[in-house]
Chain A
């Protein structure tokens, strides 16, 4: 491996280890102040560019949910398929 390639690898490895550190902090529900700081960093780093958010989606963004009573009625309604005991 050339000296340049080795430097590049070491730089990327440092970044990789730091990225795993961010992931570790973001995965903690009980966070220390450092975890909170690193999670904020992660949030900022992963924020989509305004107006270019490829994950926006009509169905997802509709925030679809169900009323608990509606679900209970649905669950107890007549079977949709062929009759079973």
Chain B
């Protein structure tokens, strides 16, 4: 390693510089990669003033990550029993031929819906709709992703209220509200940067978080609400805003429906009740609501905390209602609706959702009980979306037409309501990424075909028939519009060649499609040809586009709704949702109180939270990052630790009725009483592989303790409750030592 500003500086000529977009997490920082001798040797922040300083340690150590000696560089085929840990190297052609033949057998036996795909395009980045395209042509609706728990679901619920998912305008806002979100220097870095800049300009920061987080420390107002009570808090804010006439009466009159109904619902939540539900004093609730409503333009940025609660749909809708009634939609400094870039073909158009028959859409797993982000849930928005956004399907943040993940895993494991027998996992360590790891494990073990496309031999990969070597974000070009969340389309240049036989996901899906007899529907032979197609309205080919732009910015309209209305059935902001009413749910947001306390589980979990060093289940193989955080740490209040017979640094076990997980106790002054923070996605790449061990996932993966029953699921989406789940903590017995 060298330090740029000091020792061991490489003596060669100046490096070649490439503008790249980091996919080490889901933020997509625009960075500069320095290339020497055909290798990326340094990744640093962009010189562009707009992107200045937006880099974190995960990006800095990316060259080391992708050069790891254990990286999967060649296609591998399972030898022996599934999960037995034995592999043989095969060619791509041999792998693809066999995968296509086996997939055809599964479809012939069980129907196309027996194919399921789990992926995270934040990681794989370059599908350009190819996976969904193939699935839709084959007839499978069963696509799932981590975005079911993170942003994608929020986008779908936002669409039900006002037809799009807005972007906060940090550049001109005067008030920022963070619901548990805690962007830091090395996590969600651009958001941290934008919030700090806004604060420097004088913007007010309100933080609602049970933890005294770094953001809470910097806030003008911190409301330490009870974990999982976001919806109740929002109802309290609306109570203040309605009672004190702090809403935008003209906007409410002209552009909303259901205001009176919502007001009646809100009246059920006087501040004393909200205080009892949230643990925050009425005067604090009142002060925060007033600040938000009167110090605008205000923003409530997306938060991974509200995404992951048993009242998630209601809480997200209440965020939407707050934005709308206070007049913060579509205004500078408020919440902007970018729409899609008018000049770039969006991925959603390439996915061919119209090719999937209504009969197959109706088979999408989970759409019967938990339809919010499924085809069924989004169906009523098809025509409004065509009216406002010019196309019937907009798969915003990939989250609008998903199957329910838990329903897919149950179908894989138990064949109910029908069997899923071919499972593809791309850039998505599925086993550790969703609730109830044991059911996911049973499901994977019950497959006729499991294909994983990955960098490392993850626990999920260890159970595959084929492990295919994936490229990285330094090794491929990319057009990035955050899957429709922004109309600003950014360009990532290919900085180096992929090692070995690593390939991108577009190449994989197209090669499979050709073998399935669908090559005519994939007329673009490679990624660059797809990009040529996507940028053609600019009058350029992709290479020229890449040489001309780092990002491509259309004109953003304010108050577009005055011309087009909102993309909802009523054309207005639906404070009472006609979509949810038609699906059989309460059209108004509500707060479902916790089930009765179980004395066996006296503490509460706070899960799904990332650490600075890692993103989701990745990065534990990078020595420098692992050195900084070698073990999964359980954050506890000192008094809770003492009550459990634990001291700082002790190993402990966290238990729920679903399972248990080990971690090292870290006593933290920022943790409130009774809350236990469990880090997400732990496994140890250096530990033994195979079904029995899964590189430590059986010991450390939090997916084992996530409950997946109706009491702890959001009703409309069917996603698990990760904020406030009952648990207990005990010291690790000597026999359980990791």
Contacts and interface: CB of A to CB of B under 8 A. Distances in A.
Contacts of B64: 66, 71, 74
Interface string B42-65: 101100111011011100110110
Interface string A44-85: 001111001011010111111111101110111111111011
Given A70-B1, A71-B67, A77-B69, A64 B171 contact: no
Given A12-B297, A23-B553, A30 B185 contact: no
Interface stretch (B85-93, B420-428, B596-604, B717-725): B85-93
B311 to A, nearest CB: 33
B686 interface: yes
Given A59-B60, A78-B69, A64 B1 contact: yes
A64 B193 CA distance: 21
A20 B553 CA distance: 8
Contacts of B34: 65
Nearest to A57: B185
Contacts of B550: 26-29
Interface stretch (B3-11, B235-243, B565-573): B3-11
Contacts of B331: 9, 12-13
Nearest to B332: A16
Given A15-B172, A29-B548, A46-B49, A62 B3 contact: yes
Contacts of A28: 548-550
A71 to B, nearest CB: 5
Interface string B184-201: 011000000100110010
Interface in B59-83: 60-61, 63-64, 67-71, 76
B184 to A, nearest CB: 10
Interface in B463-519: 488, 490, 499
B556 A65 contact: no
Given A60-B53, A81-B685, A20 B555 contact: yes
Contacts of A46: 49-50, 52, 197
Given A81-B685, A85-B87, A64 B69 contact: no
Interface residues of B, number: 75
Contacts of A85: 76, 87-89
**Most chain A CB neighbours (cut-off 10 Å) among B19, B45, B49, B88:** B49
A59 B42 CA distance: 13
Given A66-B41, A68-B41, A75 B553 contact: no
Nearest to B552: A27
Nearest to A24: B553
Contacts of A16: 169, 171-172, 332-333, 556, 558
B256 to A, nearest CB: 15
Contacts of B186: 57, 59
Contact of A27 (B87, B457, B553, B686): B553
Contact of A12 (B1, B5, B45, B332): B332
A80 B69 contact: yes
B4 A65 contact: yes
Contact of A13 (B67, B87, B332): B332
Interface string B162-175: 00000001011000
Contacts of A39: 48-49
B1 A79 contact: no
Interface residues of A, number: 51
A7 interface: no
Interface in B1-35: 1-5, 8, 10, 19, 34
A3 interface: no
Given A20-B553, A63-B3, A67-B2, A80 B685 contact: yes
Contact of B1 (A43, A66, A84): A66
**Most chain B CB neighbours (cut-off 10 Å) among A26, A62, A71:** A71
A13 B558 contact: yes
Contacts of B172: 12, 15-16, 19
A42 B621 CA distance: 39
Nearest to B689: A82
A78 B499 CA distance: 16
B517 to A, nearest CB: 32
Given A16-B169, A39-B49, A66-B63, A60 B4 contact: no
Nearest to A27: B551
**Most chain A CB neighbours (cut-off 10 Å) among B37, B490, B499:** B37
Interface in B286-330: 297
**Most chain B CB neighbours (cut-off 10 Å) among A16, A39, A52:** A16
Interface of B: 1-5, 8, 10, 19, 34, 36-39, 41-42, 44-45, 48-50, 52-53, 55-57, 60-61, 63-64, 67-71, 76, 85, 87-89, 169, 171-172, 185-186, 193, 196-197, 200, 248, 250, 297, 331-333, 457, 488, 490, 499, 547-553, 555-556, 558, 621, 685-689, 695
30 contacts: A12-B333, A16-B556, A16-B558, A20-B556, A26-B50, A27-B549, A42-B50, A46-B49, A47-B49, A48-B200, A55-B185, A55-B193, A55-B196, A57-B186, A60-B55, A61-B5, A62-B3, A62-B5, A63-B42, A64-B2, A64-B42, A65-B2, A65-B10, A66-B42, A76-B69, A80-B68, A81-B70, A82-B85, A84-B70, A85-B88
Interface of A: 1, 9, 12-13, 15-17, 19-20, 23-24, 26-30, 39, 42-43, 46-49, 52, 54-55, 57, 59-68, 70-72, 74-82, 84-85
Closest 7 CB pairs of A and B: A63-B4, A65-B42, A16-B332, A27-B551, A55-B53, A43-B49, A24-B553
